[in-house]
Amino acid sequence: MTLNNELKNWYVTNFKMFEEGLNGESKSKFHLVRKDALSKFRELEFPTTKDEEWKYTNISPLLNYNFRQPVSIRLKPEQIEKYLFSTKDFITLVFVNGFYDESLSSVPKEIKGLTVKNLSAALKENSPICEKYLSRFAPYQSSIFTALSTAFVKEGTFVHVEKNAVIEKPIQLLYLTATGENIITNPRNLFVIENNAQVKIVEIHKSLEENVNFTNLVTEVVVEGNAIVEHVKLQDENLKSFHISRLEVDLKKSSNYASYNVSIGASIARSDINARFNDEGGECTLNGLYLAHENQLVDTHTLIDHAKPHCNSHELYKGVMDDKSRAVFNGKVMVRKDAQKTNAFQENKNILLSDDAVVDTKPQLEIFADDVKCSHGATIGQLSKEGLFYLRSRGFSEELARTTLIYAFASDVVHSISISEVRDKLEEMLAEKLLK
Amino acid sequence: MSTEVNEIEELANREYKYGFVTEVETESAPKGLNEDIIRLISQKKEEPEWMLEWRLKAFNHWKKMTEPNWQNVNFPPIDYQDIVYYSAPKKKKALNSLDEVDPEILKTFEKLGIPLEEQKILSGVAVDAVFDSVSVATTFKEKLAEEGVIFCSMSDALKEHPELVKQYIGSVVPYTDNYFAALNSAVFTDGSFVFIPKGVRCPMELSTYFRINAANTGQFERTLIVAEEGSYVSYLEGCTAPQRDENQLHAAVVELISLDNAEIKYSTIQNWYAGDKDGIGGIYNFVTKRGLCKGINSKISWTQVETGSSITWKYPSCVLQGENSIGEFYSVAVTNNMQQADTGTKMIHLGKNTRSTIVSKGISAGRSNNSYRGLVKVNKKASGARNFSQCDSLLIGDQCGAHTFPYLEVNNPSAIVEHEATTSKIGADQIFYLNQRGLSTEDAVNMIVNGYCKEVFNVLPMEFAVEAQKLLSVSLEGSVG
């Protein structure tokens, strides 16, 4: 307990320095939110395995570090190129150690109907959209990590797509942590997509060196009526780092949101993904893939809240666990009273490759309406013997037969990504990782 | 449709059929819980010294525990000092035949539709009827004794076979296990004891009818079933209780132990008073049931049909310790009006090549809430473990809730664990189809629900299956929305 308090004090002290570094922005309205979040952060306790939401995830390793605010460094374009999905056709924003790097980014001067900029610029301009939505959906009152993130909101990406605008070019966000030991970054994204608009956003989280770092990410997405959003996230940090993220999606009438969450890196990676239908006719897809080896722990908590009738949700999460890795999946589907004609389907499939790998999965349904179709399924198993035999009989070596099957199992999740560059690159990456 | 709805409402509002109080002189201890009460219970039951010590240890442990609060049910706090922990029909003398049983009690059983005589003659089922904590009639004892089967009340077992009881009691559910198990260990008054010796296939299905009578008597049953190597037993438990306004607490403990190649089949029909349509009254059914598959190739199978109780909160579990052992759980849980159920199972795979099957069917109607909560845990050493779980929920009406909380914890790569769950309602097209064939909506719903539960009813012993179907239609009468 005292250790926790010391750690909290550490962040509180850091906040003062952070405040001074804001250069007058601390007088803005949003700074009150930061301060409030900080006071909430002081009140809240770090979760232990006694909390139901953290039952299988022990985050005490993270509490052993006093993570510091990062310093900015400069990278050359050729150092980052290989981490991008595409260097040409995408709108690209690059953040290094939590700082926006304009020279590495490529944001076209003007695209009709689209505002895309780094968050601190948007805050500086007092963007009314920013003010309206920022921190409205991520509840810092109940989650200590979200409170921490909110207190230290400074940089991230702000995307606003105006009514009826269809943005052809995907937006690509690259968050890098480079030099600097034990640094914490609190990237914050806000995507607001107005009526009938369409956009595709891709996030990449990557660490360049083998230091122990902590990324505490919060993303808020507002999908207005009939808007269509595709959102891909690749988390590929080094195996010593911590990655804690929260994604909040607010869906309006007949909107459509699809998330693809690929988690490969970090020693402890925890994602909380919450989608809420606020009006009828919405459609939400949450797909994910986690690969873990060595001592990695991947924890995914999803919640789809069917608060309104006539909405559909589809969820598919797959995992491949090797060595001493551990996966936790908790998928909750909530169908509220009166949310009739709901269709909600959820699946979680896991393959264990080693004797020491562990999977704890808990697909949960909470249903308060009667005219609904809901199902969930969870499986944990290994490669099918028949499948292996078939490939062996066709002349595959044992190793190749195994990896081929694993690749087929895993790549399934990314197949439905519509951005071909992203899909190809992810498939390539999976092949490289699995077919070694 | 509106006339239908009225009809339905009428039916849904029907009073509990089995709500009556039998006037039998009872001998009760004063309200409250303390060491003296426990000593009194132990003394009344003429128990051996070690039993009393065990009870007191359990009591001391219980005092240190706090009531759990993670469950998905709500109820006002229970005042444990406001419960009568011991009440027995006044004992006349030792009974040899049914004629000596208090005619009032016999009438009660008749009202319930389970006359002992009839059962004796027609079904060949030995019935050990527990009436308010003390066993009043035991039949077919002799026939069972021939085979070496021991089937008696727990108090008799403590007198006649103390060494067996001492060896096994608390070995599956220790008094430290949970709050209600500790309470039960301290104050249990009676229950059944079954011992099947090596290689014996029990010649008949054993059954016990539990009733809760005498107002404010918490009933604390303790059942212990031991199946030795290569033996088989099928045990049936069925319950009904009279209508009461105050909530009655029922915290039973059931322990099953299955040794090498032995099989225990445990079936339950639970139809205690569920409270009126506003949720007033009704039984709190907080039961700890657990089976240990200790030997190789052993098997334990739980089947339950839960239609009564205002709150049902139980998880009949299997600990699969022996290699190749098998655990099964089949459940139908029906909630109507304001009933709440949080039920499911735990399958703990410890041994190699252990298998488990879970089939759970939840039906919620009225304003009730029905939760399935289950755990499948595969230990590191349980290679080749296999589990299949299916839990389906059926919602009738738009005010009820159905929830599933399955926990799957797998620590072994060769394990295959599958879980499936669906939630749906009775389709208007299905009802229309049956209406069109001349069935009333009521019958149509019954037919659909019975079809939905068939998987579970199929594994019930025959007489029970019939009773279960009847019960189901009574519980759901008119809840079509």
Note whether B293 contacts A: Cβ–Cβ < 8 A.
Answer: no
Q: What pLDDT shows up at residue B110? A: 57
Q: What pLDDT shows up at residue A18? A: 87
Task: State mean pLDDT over B269-277.
Answer: 78
For residue B368, list chain A residues with Cβ-Cβ distance below 8 A. Answer: none
Q: What pLDDT shows up at residue B122? A: 35
**Using an 8 Å Cβ cutoff, are A343 and A312 in contact?**
yes
Task: Return the DSSP state at B71.
Answer: S
Query: Residue length, chain A?
Result: 436
Q: How many angstroms separate the Cα of B116 from the Cα of each of A51, A414, B92, B107, B449?
A: 51, 66, 20, 10, 31
pLDDT per residue over B129-141, tens digit each? 555 444 444 556 6
Q: Give B144 or A303, the one with higher predicted confidence.
A: A303
Q: What pLDDT shows up at residue B172? A: 92
Range from A185-194, B1-10, B434-443 carrying the lowest mean pLDDT: B1-10
pLDDT for B446 beyond 60? yes
Rounded CA separation A347/B378 (Å) = 20
Q: Pick the residue from chain A with its C-alpha nearest to B71.
A: A52
Task: State mean pLDDT over B392-413.
Answer: 87
pLDDT for B213 beyond 70? no
Note whether B397 contacts A: Cβ–Cβ < 8 A.
Answer: yes
Task: State mean pLDDT over A219-238.
Answer: 95
ipTM comes to 0.75
Q: What confidence tier does A235 reach under pLDDT thresholds 50, 70, 90?
A: very high
B408 contacts A360? CB cut-off 8 A: yes
pLDDT for A27 beyond 80? no
pLDDT per residue over B290-349, tens digit each? 999 999 999 999 999 888 888 888 899 999 999 999 999 999 998 888 888 999 999 999
Element (H, E) at A66: none
A364 contacts B413? CB cut-off 8 A: no
Rounded CA separation A381/A383 (Å) = 7
Pick from B327, B130, B145: which is nearest to B217 by CA? B130
Considering only the beta carbons, identify the residue of A340, A369, A381 that sits closest to B416. Answer: A381
Q: How many angstroms separate the Cα of B55 from the Cα of each of A315, A404, B49, B181, B226?
A: 50, 60, 10, 11, 21
Q: What pLDDT shows up at residue B59? A: 92
Q: Which amino acid is at A353?
A: L
Q: What is the mean pLDDT of chain A?
A: 91
Task: State mean pLDDT over A67-83.
Answer: 89
Longest dimension (CA), chain A: 71
Longest dimension (CA), chain B: 68
Please enumerate residues of A whose Cβ is less than 8 A from a Cβ of B: 52, 56, 335, 337-338, 340, 350, 352-355, 357-382
- DSSP lists the bridge partners of residue A191 as A159, A221
Considering only the beta carbons, identify the residue of B395, B417, B481 that sits closest to A367. Answer: B395
**Using an 8 Å Cβ cutoff, are A345 and A73 in contact?**
no
Chain B residues 69-128 with CB within 8 Å of chain A: 70
B404 contacts A365? CB cut-off 8 A: yes
pLDDT for B217 beyond 80? no
For residue B400, list chain A residues with Cβ-Cβ distance below 8 A. Answer: 368, 370
pLDDT for A9 beyond 60? yes
pLDDT for A411 beyond 70? yes
Q: What pLDDT shows up at residue B139? A: 52
Task: Return the DSSP state at A377.
Answer: E
Range from A16-30, A46-60, A325-339 carrying the lowest mean pLDDT: A16-30
Q: What pLDDT shows up at residue B94? A: 44
For residue B365, list chain A residues with Cβ-Cβ distance below 8 A. Answer: none
pLDDT for B98 beyond 60? no
Note whether B408 contacts A: Cβ–Cβ < 8 A.
Answer: yes
pLDDT per residue over B57-87, tens digit each? 999 999 898 888 887 778 888 888 887 777 6
pTM of the complete model: 0.81
Considering only the beta carbons, identify the residue of B405, B420, B425 that sits closest to A362. Answer: B405
pLDDT per residue over B144-182, tens digit each? 788 888 888 888 888 889 999 999 999 999 988 889 999
CB pairs under 8 A between A and B: 114
pLDDT for B413 beyond 50? yes
Work out the minimum CA distance from A319 to partner chain B, whole angstroms. 13
B397 contacts A370? CB cut-off 8 A: yes
Considering only the beta carbons, identify the residue of B410, B422, B481 that sits closest to A358. Answer: B410
Rounded CA separation B57/B52 (Å) = 9
Q: What pLDDT shows up at residue B461? A: 78
Q: For testing the chain A interface, which of B66, B419, B425, B431 should be mutated: the one with the most A CBs within 10 Å?
A: B419
Note whether B427 contacts A: Cβ–Cβ < 8 A.
Answer: no
Q: What pLDDT shows up at residue A347? A: 92
Domains of chain B by residue range: 2-476
pLDDT per residue over B334-368, tens digit each? 888 888 899 999 999 999 999 999 999 998 888 88
Residue B395: helix, strand or coil by DSSP? strand
Q: What confidence tier does A148 reach under pLDDT thresholds 50, 70, 90?
A: very high
Q: Give A243 or B1, the one with higher predicted confidence.
A: A243
pLDDT for A86 beyond 60? yes
Task: State mean pLDDT over B75-101.
Answer: 65
